[in-house]
Structure 1
Amino acid sequence: MSDTATRAPARLTRTIAAIGLAAAAVIAPFVSGWESGGKQHLVAYRDIVGVWTICDGDTANVKPGMVETPAGCEVRYDRQLTAHAKPVLACTPALKGHPNQLAAAISLAYNIGTNGYCGSTVARRFNAGDWPGACDAFLMWNKAGGRVVRGLTNRRRAERDLCRKDLP
């Protein structure tokens, strides 16, 4: 069992309340695996575009030289998942009750921001009832700093695949 899988259940407290058990069980290990490769970064670092980041891709109030504990990372991760889930559900309410599509959407929002997600083609297509089209639109978000990044392309394919699973 991966380190991510063993950490995930402890992280679900607020996330479950925000999005429900089924989506939380999918999203917690999924995002963590992409954000940190299954390994928490306890020391702040600059991501691919120079944003200070810590733990599992958390950029909120991160400063150079910052150090976090594993328990602190779990609290930060749960807080961030919840902070991203609520706006995703608010701007794409049709996702409620569809754990795979919701988990994919939260993963995208976690990576591009909730404003980016809510203004995206992905959200517009979900809201229009074009579920397959929404899933395919994940692939549009594979750039950082204006250039295509292989890791983002791989993540978007995984999000699209998750989104396509059990489509309504």
Structure 2
Amino acid sequence: MKLIANWKSVAKTAHSMWAFYASLFCLLLPEVIFWGFEIDTNPRIWWVLGVALLIYGIIGRLWDQGIDRTKMRSPWVVGVMALGLVVVLAMQHGTSLTNTVTGTSEPSVTAEIATPASAPAATASSDTSFLEIAVPFVGRWEGLRLEAYLDIVGVPTVCYGETKRVRLGDSYTKAECDEMLAREIISYRDRLRPAFTSQTLANRLPIPRDVAFTSLAYNVGVSGTSKSTAVRRLNEGNIAGACTALGWWNKAGGRVVRGLVNRRSEETELCMRGVA
């Protein structure tokens, strides 16, 4: 490979080269933001910026920039402005992993999953044993704030997303927040109960699996969970298929969100405990 004679000047000053640099930055930055700050950014932002940088690079490639002249005009200011815009937009439009997802629709999946020969019987969950697993599991995904704050739509919120009778300036201990979350979790579990058959409640819902389905209901709503393929399969005795179907609820706003993928993965693992 033979480099062009003025490759150093082109690498430092050409608009098309700066478009390449900024494009690479746009590819890497979403991953850095996710792993460093646990913010899953909107891919539409990166698509728009990618197209803009592509257009910038095409124009820059055809623009006489005077690179071969004695005095060169560097586009570094343009590059810095573009990178600054990337950071600002990413942070403004990032979606927190702990955001509760509403309106999530279950995808259409046609593949059949084989039913296991049998699933071990389980005893009904006692509230205490159930909450020992459910509170830390759900709480870790919802996120804890001990002082009241305004959520994304301006509603005073505290603890693990509690909004009832909350005012700005309120503060709570972790124990108080855990107690509030426990009440909410029990409420969701009890409202989900009618969706299960008596046989499912008696033999197919050990505590870990109960936590998994309740966590899904807490995240996407009781109505959606009750009508889900996961519940239907569990009632049919297809435990492995039911647990797999929990993982389908991984979208928000029509796109797959890594935080939801991770949460559904852990719920599926809980659900599958004890299944051969």
TM, length-normalised to structure 2: 0.47
Q: TM-score normalised to the size of structure 1?
A: 0.73
Deviations 1:108-160 (A, max 9, x none): 11111111111111111111111101100111111122221110110000100
Aligned match of 1:114: 222
1:61 alignment counterpart? 164
Q: Is 1:34 the equivalent of 2:34? A: no
Give the gaps of 5 or more residues in structure 1: 1-17
- Structure 2 match to 1:84: 188
Q: For the residues of structure 1 that align with 2:233 and 2:169, how far apart are their CA atoms?
A: 39
Mapped contact 1:45–1:64 kept (Cα < 8 A): no
- Contact 2:188–2:222 at 8 Å: present in 1 too? yes
Contact 1:95 1:101 in 2 (8 A): no
Unaligned runs of 5+ residues in structure 2 are 1-123
Cα distance in structure 2, aligned partners of 1:144 and 1:45: 21
What is the aligned-residue RMSD (CA, Å)? 2.6
2:260 matched to 1:156?
A: no
Residues 69 and 161 of structure 1: CA distance in aligned 2, closer, same or farther (over 3 Å): same
Using the alignment, how far apart are the partners of 1:141 and 1:62 within structure 2? 30
Instruction: Using the TM superposition, give the Cα deviation of residue 19 of structure 1 relative to its aligned residue in structure 2, in angstroms.
Output: 4.2
- 1:22 equivalent among 106, 110, 129: 129
Alignment pair present for 1:103 and 2:236: no
Q: Write the deviation string for residues 31-89 of structure 1: whole angstroms up to 9, x where unpaired.
A: 111111xx335323436xx584531133x537684634125423321210111110222
> Compared with structure 1, are the counterparts of its residues 41 and 95 closer, same or farther at alpha carbon in structure 2 (3 Å cutoff)?
farther
Q: Secondary structure of the residue that 2:263 maps to in structure 1?
A: helix
Q: Provide the C-alpha distance between the structure 2 equivalents of 1:51 and 1:165, rounded to a whole number of angstroms.
A: 40
- Aligned partner of 1:9 in structure 2 is none
Question: Separation in 1 of the partners of 2:151 and 2:178?
Answer: 20
How far is the alpha carbon of 1:26 from its aligned partner? Answer: 1.7
Letter in 2 for 1:82: I
Counterpart secondary structure, 1:140: coil
What is residue 6 of structure 1 aligned with on the other side? none
CA distance in 2, matches of 1:118, 1:79: 20
Q: Does structure 1 residue 43 correspond to structure 2 residue 148?
A: yes
Distance 1:51 1:151 in 2: 23
One-letter code aligned to 1:167: V
**d(CA) in 1 for partners of 2:132 and 2:138?**
11
Identity %: 34
How many residues are treated as equivalent by the alignment? Answer: 146
Contact 1:143/1:152 (8 A) holds in 2: yes
Q: Which residue number corresponds to residue 249 of structure 2? A: 141
Bigger helix fraction: 1
